[in-house]
Amino acid sequence: AASSLTCLGGFRNHIISTLSSQQTNLRSVSIGSRQQSESASSSAIKTPKKRKMVAKLTDAQRKELLQPLLDAGWTMAAAGRDAIYKEYLFKNFNEAFGFMTRVALLADKMDHHPEWFNVYNKVQVTLATHDCGGLSERDVKLANFVEEIFGKY
C-alpha cells in the first residue's frame, strides 16, 4: 500500500509539473458538468493574485478607527484574539441570508473574508486579518460596510 501511495504521489507531481511547464496541448478540462477552456499556449494552472502586505493597526489607529465600531456594538473577540465581533438579528432567514450575500460581494472584491455563523435570523460576524495576525484597516473598512448594509434592514 505504501508503494502505491508513493507511485501515485510521483504521478501527481509529474502531472502538475507537466501542466505548470505548459508541455501540454490541453484545450479544456471537464469537472462534473462544468467545462473550463484554455488556449493551448496558456497555463492550465492559474497563479494566485499577488497579495499586498497588510499591517496590524497601530495603537493610534485602534483608538481612532475602532472606537466608532465599539460604540456601534462591536466588541473585541474572545481573550487572546485580536479580532472584532458583532451579532446581528433579522426578521427572518431570508433577510439574514440577503445581508450575508451583500457583505460577501464586497468581501470577495476586497479579498478579505469574514468569519461568520448563521442560524435562522441570527448572523455572528468576526473580523481579523490572517495575513498580519490581527486587526487591520481591511477589518475596519469591512466592519463599516457591514454596519452600512445592516442599516438598510
Spans in the chain with pLDDT lower than 50: 2-9, 11-12, 14-15, 17-43
pTM over 0.85: no
Architecture of the domain made up of 59-150: 2-Layer Sandwich (3.30)
Q: What angle do CA 100, 64, 87 make, to 5 degrees?
A: 25
Residue 30 DSSP SS3: strand
Locate 17 and state its grid cell. Answer: 509539473
Domains in the chain: boundaries: 2-37, 59-150
Please provide the size of the chain in residues.
153
**5-49 tens-digit pLDDT:** 444 445 445 445 444 444 444 444 444 444 444 444 444 565 555
